[in-house]
A and B are shown apart, each in its own frame.
Chain A
Amino acid sequence: QVQLVESGGGVVQPGGSLRLSCAASGFTFSSYGMHWVRQAPGKGLEWVAFIRYDGSNKYYADSVKGRFTISRDNSKNTLYLQMNSLRAEDTAVYYCAKEAAAGPWALDYWGQGTLVTVSS
């Protein structure tokens, strides 16, 4: 069965950095695009970034462009999100999610999320 397990969250000071990981299993990781989506406490969902199955294309939300970098290691079945210059407004649960098997029309599996708290 498909499993996505995020890790790397924690408390970091404003201006600091953090790298999130998402370990994938139960599907052919190298065949699917992957997303990061976040949710601030008590708020709605915000899409963060996408990477194509082969890493050839990456897209970002304007709110994180230039500060966050999405990447993947298909040999390790792992997705990453490098977060630099963190701000208080980046505080959120970060989910990794898989592009739908039916095509890039949805995100069909999600991890359980990892909490990032940016605070001094």
Chain B
Amino acid sequence: DIQLTQSPSFLSASVGDRVTITCRASQGISSYLAWYQQKPGKAPKLLIYAASTLQSGVPSRFSGSGSGTEFTLTISSLQPEDFATYYCQQLNSYPITFGQGTRLEIK
């Protein structure tokens, strides 16, 4: 199975900050990586697919990059509504796996 490791697991930041979350895969997954945002008590929301393609309706301050084994999610200028937990997911092969999550909190 492909393991995904996110770093950091916890991130404290302020409104307006630029933040980057990293997702590393235990083996190459090409660009078959997605990013999701989840708020407490809610279902996950798709942000980025195919490593760098912004899902329709998602603000352009979110961006993704990477291929192979290393990927990043960047939020260029944090807004109050961005404080949530973020997950990466690989869809290169079954079983599909998620990273352990990165909890982004207000400093």
Contacts and interface: CB of A to CB of B under 8 A. Distances in A.
Interface of A: 35, 37, 44-47, 50, 59-62, 95, 100, 102-108, 110-113
A62 B96 contact: no
Contact of A61 (B38, B53, B95, B100): B95
26 contacts: A44-B87, A44-B98, A44-B99, A44-B100, A45-B89, A45-B98, A45-B101, A46-B98, A47-B89, A47-B96, A50-B94, A50-B96, A60-B95, A95-B44, A100-B46, A100-B49, A102-B49, A103-B50, A105-B34, A105-B49, A106-B46, A106-B91, A108-B46, A108-B55, A110-B45, A111-B43
Interface of B: 1, 32, 34, 36, 38, 43-46, 49-50, 53, 55, 87, 89, 91, 94-101
B50 A105 contact: yes
Contacts of B87: 44-45
Contacts, number: 64
